[in-house]
C-alpha cells in the first residue's frame, strides 16, 4: 500500500472504502487534491462531513511478541504496544495506521483460522474506553482442520472518534487481538494523526 500524497492542511473529505483484511486493494472516493496514484485497502468508512487538519502526530514501534488463543478481543498483555498521547486540540478525532508483524500456528478442527487486531482509545485519568476500532483481520487461513504455520505483515488504517475531549487530555492507544488458533503479535508500528474538530 503506497500513499504518494496526502494534503496535510486540506480537510479530509469523501468516503474511504472498507477493505478486506489486508489481502487486496479497495477503491476509494477521494478528491484528487488529497490522494493520487494510491492503492488503499483496509480503511474504514469515514462519516459524512468529516474534516479537519492534522494538528498532532505520534509514532511508536514496539515488539510485544505476545500470543493469544482467545476467540474474543483481549488486551495485549503487560500493556505492550500501548502508546500514550496527549491531545493538542479539543474534541479531536483520530486516524491511526498500524503495521504489524505476526505469526499464526495451531490446529482447530471446526473453524477457519483468523488472527485479528484493533485499537481502542482509553482515557488515562479514569481508564474509561472512549472509542473502539473495528476488528481488522491480519491473517486468514481457510484450510479447516489442518495444522497451520503462517507469518507475515500487514498495515491497517482506522478512523476513531473519542467524543468530547478537552485539549491536553491524556490518552492511551491500546491494542487488542484475538485468534482461533495461536496468534502471536511479534511487532507493531503505530502512527497516530490527530484531526482538528
Residue 104: its pLDDT value, please? 80
Please report whether residue 48 resides in a domain.
no
Mean pLDDT estimate for the chain: 76
Residue 172: its pLDDT value, please? 98
**The domain containing residue 122 runs over which residues?**
54-195
Q: In 107-146, where does DSSP find H-type helix?
A: none
Residue 39: its pLDDT value, please? 35
Please report whether residue 36 resides in a domain.
no
Residue 80: its pLDDT value, please? 95
Q: State how far the Cα of 42 lies from the Cα of 25, in Å rounded to an integer.
A: 8
Please check whether residue 196 is in contact with residue 52, taking contact to mean a CB–CB distance below 8 angstroms: yes
For the cut 90, the answer to whether the pLDDT of residue 74 exceeds it is yes
Please report whether residue 26 resides in a domain.
no
Instruction: Work out the pLDDT band at 52, boundaries 50, 70, 90.
Output: confident
Please report whether residue 35 resides in a domain.
no
Residue with the three cell numbers 481488522: 136
For the cut 50, the answer to whether the pLDDT of residue 24 exceeds it is no
Please report whether residue 39 resides in a domain.
no
Nearest residue to 10 (alpha-carbon basis) of 35, 28, 29, 27: 35
Please report whether residue 134 resides in a domain.
yes
Please report whether residue 8 resides in a domain.
no
Instruction: Work out the pLDDT band at 11, boundaries 50, 70, 90.
Output: very low
Digit-coded pLDDT (tens) for 84-139: 999 999 999 999 999 988 888 876 666 667 788 999 999 999 999 999 999 887 76
**Strand, coil or helix: 162:** coil
CATH number of the domain bearing residue 144: 2.60.120
Residue 179: its pLDDT value, please? 87
Q: What is the mean pLDDT of residues 134-162?
A: 77
Question: Minimum mean pLDDT among 49-58, 120-129, 153-162: which range?
Answer: 49-58
Please report whether residue 11 resides in a domain.
no
Nearest residue to 197 (alpha-carbon basis) of 32, 53, 5, 63: 53
For the cut 80, the answer to whether the pLDDT of residue 141 exceeds it is no
The total domain count for the chain is: 1
Amino acid at each position: 500500500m503506497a500513499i504518494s500524497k496526502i494534503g496535510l492542511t486540506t480537510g479530509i473529505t469523501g468516503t474511504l472504502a472498507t477493505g478486506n483484511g489486508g489481502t487486496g486493494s479497495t477503491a476509494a472516493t477521494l478528491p484528487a487534491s488529497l490522494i493520487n496514484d494510491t492503492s488503499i485497502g483496509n480503511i474504514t468508512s469515514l462519516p459524512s462531513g468529516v474534516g479537519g487538519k492534522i494538528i498532532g502526530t505520534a509514532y511508536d514501534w514496539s515488539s510485544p511478541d505476545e500470543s493469544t488463543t482467545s476467540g474474543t478481543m483481549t488486551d495485549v498483555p503487560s500493556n505492550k504496544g500501548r502508546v500514550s498521547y496527549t491531545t493538542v486540540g479539543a474534541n479531536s478525532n483520530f486516524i491511526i495506521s498500524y503495521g504489524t508483524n505476526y505469526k499464526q500456528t495451531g490446529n482447530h478442527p471446526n473453524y477457519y483460522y483468523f488472527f485479528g487486531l484493533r485499537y481502542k482509545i482509553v482515557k488515562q485519568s479514569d481508564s474509561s474506553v472512549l472509542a473502539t476500532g473495528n476488528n481488522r483481520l491480519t491473517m486468514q487461513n481457510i484450510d479447516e482442520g489442518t495444522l497451520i504455520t503462517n507469518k507475515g505483515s500487514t498495515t491497517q488504517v482506522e478512523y476513531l472518534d473519542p467524543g468530547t475531549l478537552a485539549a491536553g487530555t491524556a490518552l492511551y492507544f491500546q491494542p487488542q487481538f484475538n485468534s482461533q488458533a495461536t496468534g502471536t503479535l511479534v511487532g507493531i508500528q503505530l502512527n497516530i494523526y490527530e484531526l482538528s474538530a
